[in-house]
Structure 1
Amino acid sequence: MNAGPVFNPLLSLLELAQRARAAGSVNELAFLAVNDSRALAPYRQSALWFGVGGIHTLSGVVAVESNAPYVQWLTQLCRALAEQHGSATPVNVDPAQLPTTVTAAWDEWLPQYVAWVPLRSVRGATASVDASSSAGLLLAGDSALGAEQLALLAEWMDIWQHAWRTSPETARWSAADLPQALRNWWRVPLRSTRWRRRAVVAAAVLGILLFPVHLSVLAPGELVAANPATIRAPLDGVIAEFAVRPNQTVTAGQSLFSFDQAPVASKLDVAREALATAQAEYRQAAQLVLNDPRAKAQLAGLLGRVAEKQAQAAFLEGQAQRSRVQAPQAGIALFDDPSEWIGRPVQTGERIMQIAAPNDVEIEAWVPIGDAIPLPDKAPLHLYLSAAPMTPLSGTLRYMGHRATARPDGTYAYRVRAKIDGATAQRIGLKGTAKLVGDRVPLVYWMLRRPLASIRQFLAL
């Protein structure tokens, strides 16, 4: 009887080594480390971490979201493991030896058992690990790894690191090469002419970089009504019909839309009948008082009931009047397709439309959080409409929101309103790109503002 196939970890190690040497990029090598190391040791989750750059790759994930709570917590855990174990051999992690700030959320993110495989002398496109820095591979599973499995992982990661260092993508220039490059440049024999040329070029480059320019950002913008009259639902009900069309010019007092009259009319009829009944009962009791003085005690209660029914009837008459909405001022009716509103139940206070004066137009823009720059009072703004890109509209800043607001697409941005300089024939609702102009800054800051912000966020992890 033939025995089944026997698992040979050395063959698995050789196969992984062959695949590492054949990898065409550092991303492929990282994927191999976090996903295919299962051939040597069982685990459920894996992460490749660099001391400079944080979590580089996660098992089963195509792209790593650095702002996700799981990734941020995992970065803290790997940093704590690197500080505790340094460049030692692979070990099974004891949570009791880690800070409580890290272990507090352990059960939420990881299984019970975790192994840590330190990496040494790894250099990548976004990370450089040497004697003064660190990196590692974290493996989490349902059981602790044995000594043989840890030894196989140590050998496998040595092979993997060699493939990583020899990858073409890791041979690019980095900041670590700058001192040597400067020393080589200094040792070149100097001649007076060459030195003067270099000094002139350096001065010219420095002058260009320090040249003052206006700091500006681009943001999506559109033309909106400056002071519109907002028409809201005066009562809970169903809209029956519209008397105007979208973008139609209306006059003050003109009928705009009306609610379904059946519910209000039926309630009003019931209230009027109840009022008539209460009045009849009061008159009957008033006649009885002439013959029976004891009936006088009922008059106060009946009179109060009549007043109650009168108030109900008056309220419903007001509801019936408010169910036919009229324009409070002259202007243009701004709302969506009427067919989307007819038959739709609305609640009291829900916005139905706006009435805007034709020439009462201003610019509205939404500045993303990453592009928010200091804007002085009455800062200039230019709107390049998609319908007329060659004739921008100029305006001055009226205000910029102090708090970011959620947009329909899920992003957050600051609302900006600007008054248009002069009159415009462009209609409300046209969209385009707004350019906001701030104070003057050196050209080098204008060029490096976004990269510096990204680096600042990167170093804050």
Structure 2
Amino acid sequence: MAAEGGLDTARLSALFEVEHRARGADSPTTLRFISVNESRGVVDYRQAALLESGIRGWRVTAISDVPAVDRNSLYAQWVERVVGLQDLSEASTREVSIDNLPDWERGVWSEVCPARAMLVPVAAPGQTPSAWLWIAREQAWSDADRFLAEHVAEVFGHAFVALSPRRRRGSLFGRLKRSSVGLLLLVLVIAALAIPVRLSALAPAEIVARDPTIVAAPMEGVVEKVLVEPNARVEKGQPLVRLQDLEARNRFDVANEALKVANARYSKALQESFDDPKSRAELATLKAEAQLREVERAFAKQKLDKIVLRAEHDGLVIFNDPNDWSGRPVRTGERIMELADPASQEVRVQLPVDDAIVLEAGAPMKLFLDSRPLQPIDGKVRRVSYKPEVTPRDQMVYRVIARLDEERDYLRIGLRGTAKVSGSKVPLGYYIFRRPITALRQTLGI
């Protein structure tokens, strides 16, 4: 039994089934598969391809009888080139003629495609096509074929619009707009993002001595032995480090002997000066030489006295392993250890450049020690370095010095933890999205 216009009952039934499947598609990928494969029951064809608009023109996104499109295949490239040569300014169905194609496209046609091909716009009525359906077979196309192809393509156009992300997003915003609860929620979120909060950053921190005394080498030499243990308490005048005294002692002995010789020559000339005018004339020179030797001996004695480095005041010596210094040559002024007052402490914070915020003197700081993370200690920023420096771990950081507002029994020099430093107040939205904004600015250069 045939329907009016040459449409038999089987094709109409297949059309209804394709419409049902298209409207039930849950993704564009599923809809593409239906459009090039299941439409064969409505319009008899041997090959079908779906082309969608892309940056470089119309691109094949689905091909009948294959699970995925190979962009490098001859068929896909040929179809895209043939469609690109068509005048698609009018959204109407048209048959593609081999006569209007260049030599290459005409020569390849017989290898990859049947003789009769038709392009059908995939769009809802009154809209610009976002896709075209390419179907091909050996037999000529009838008016019934054209009618059914346009009808099924119109169904696919409606389905593509319904599944487009823009349509879904618009529907969501529309529902929120119509919903008083959604609108209220949106207002509350915007209001919450405007709440002022302090901009803060976390950074490694360590309790260090405030204004420690530097114990440095008074002259070039070799460390013979460190006389104290690390982190030991010492008293004023207690020996800390002994340098090798061989060279200094030899210089003192030589200067001492030279002084004796100069004094002897001066005493002899003094005795002979009563009878010998020549000796009397040399007295001034010999006296000056003896005085020079006396100065040289005093200087050598001063050097010898500095062989042992002593504590200038009571305190705590801060250094690492004594074995690191034994037998090690040192230069004049080279730091060996620090002598600090245990009660005079401050916090040194190494703020990474990536987390740097504007800090001023007096900005609040909280210290969370690794040994007592649940007992934060309040403090205030004392100063911030003007430019970053490189740490031993090759990390660029700003050095922040802070002082604690309270003293606790367990605080001692060397404890480590994490410091939270706070800057000026900013909106909560900026506080949350500061890092994404910074990354986006560095990526795009804006």
User: Would you say same fold, with TM above 0.5?
Assistant: yes
Match of 1:308 among 258, 272, 292: 292
Q: Is the contact between residue 332 and residue 356 of structure 1 (CA under 8 Å) also seen in structure 2? A: yes
What does 1:165-314 align with in structure 2 at a 5 Å threshold?
A: 185=169, 194-314=178-298
Task: Give the distance between the partners of 2:175 and 2:215, measured in 1 at CA.
Answer: 80
* Corresponding position of 2:418: 433
Deviation for aligned residue 1:186: 5.1
- Length, aligned pairs only: 283
Q: Determine the structure 1 residue equivalent to 2:436.
A: 451
Query: How many Å apart are 1:282 and its aligned residue?
Result: 2.4
1:398-409 maps to which residues of 2 (within 5 A)? 398-409=382-393
Equivalent in the alignment of 1:351: 335
Could you tell me which runs of 5 or more consecutive residues in structure 1 were left unpaired when the two chains were aligned. 1-86, 88-179
**Residue deviations 1:144-200, cap 9 Å, x none?**
xxxxxxxxxxxxxxxxxxxxxxxxxxxxxxxxxxxx966875578957972534432
Q: Distance in 2 between matches of 1:189 and 1:276?
A: 105
| Pairwise CA distance, 1:346 | 1.1
Please state how far the C-alpha of 1:249 moved relative to its aligned partner: 1.2
Amino acid at match of 1:222: E
Name the amino acid aligned to 1:314.
A
In structure 1, the residue matched to 2:377 is 393
Is there any run of 5+ residues in structure 2 with no aligned partner, and where? 1-55, 57-163
Shift of 1:330: 0.9
- Paired amino acid for 1:304: A
Letter in 1 for 2:434: R
The equivalences for 1:50-61 within 5 A come to: none
Amino acid at match of 1:232: A
Give CA deviations for 1:365-403 in whole Å, capped at 9, x if unaligned. Answer: 011112121123311111211122122222111111112
Q: Distance in 1 between matches of 2:273 and 2:227?
A: 55
> Distance between the aligned counterparts of 1:191 and 1:272, measured in 2?
103
User: Is the 2:377–2:406 Cα contact (8 Å) retained in structure 1?
Assistant: no
3-state secondary structure, aligned to 2:399: strand
Equivalence for 1:31:
none
> What's the CA shift string for 1:279-325, capped at 9, x where partnerless?
22223333443333244443343333222221211111111111111
**Cα RMSD (Å) of the superposition?**
2.5
Summarize the Cα distance change of 1:286–1:182 in structure 2 as closer, same or farther, 3 Å threshold: farther
**1:341-380 aligned within 5 A:** 341-380=325-364
Q: Aligned partners of 2:175 and 2:219: how far apart in 1?
A: 88
Q: Aligned partners of 2:187 and 2:206: how far apart in 1? A: 44
Task: Kindly indicate whether residue 341 of structure 2 is the aligned counterpart of residue 339 of structure 1.
Answer: no
Deviation at 1:273, TM superposition (A): 0.6
Q: Which whole-Å CA distance do the structure 2 matches of 1:404 and 1:305 have between them?
A: 56
> 2:324 and 2:175 mapped to 1: Cα distance?
80
Secondary structure of 1:222's counterpart equals: strand
Q: Shift of the alpha carbon at 1:223?
A: 0.8
Amino acid of the structure 1 residue aligned with 2:441: R
Q: 1:355 to 1:193 in 2, by over 3 A?
A: closer
Q: TM-score, normalised by structure 2?
A: 0.59
Q: Deviations over 1:180-232 (max 9, x none)?
A: 96687557895797253443232122112112111100111011111322211
1:68-83 equivalent positions in 2, closer than 5 A = none
Task: Output the CA distance in 1 between the equivalents of 2:400 and 2:176.
Answer: 56
Change (3 A) 1:445 1:311: same
The 8 Å contact of residues 196 and 427 in structure 2, kept in 1 or not, is answered as yes
1:246-302 C-alpha deviation (Å, 9 max, x unpaired): 111111122212111222111110111111112222233334433332444433433
* 8 A Cα contact 2:360 2:384, kept in partner: no
Aligned pairs for 1:125-140 (under 5 A) are: none
Letter in 1 for 2:429: V
1:153-168 aligned within 5 A:
none
Partner of 1:18: none
Task: Label 1:185 to 1:390 Cα distance change in 2 as closer, same or farther (>3 A).
Answer: closer
Per-residue deviation, 1:245: 1.2
Offset from partner CA, 1:89-125 (integer Å, 9 cap, x none): xxxxxxxxxxxxxxxxxxxxxxxxxxxxxxxxxxxxx
- Superposed displacement of residue 419, structure 1: 0.8
Verify the 8 A CA contact 1:229 1:329 in the aligned structure 2: no
Q: Aligned partners of 1:296 and 1:447: how far apart in 2? A: 94
Asked if the contact 2:384/2:399 (under 8 Å) is kept, the reply is yes
Q: SS in structure 1 opposite 2:273?
A: helix
For the structure 1 residues 335 and 185, does the alpha-carbon distance in structure 2 shift closer, same or farther, using more than 3 Å as the test?
closer
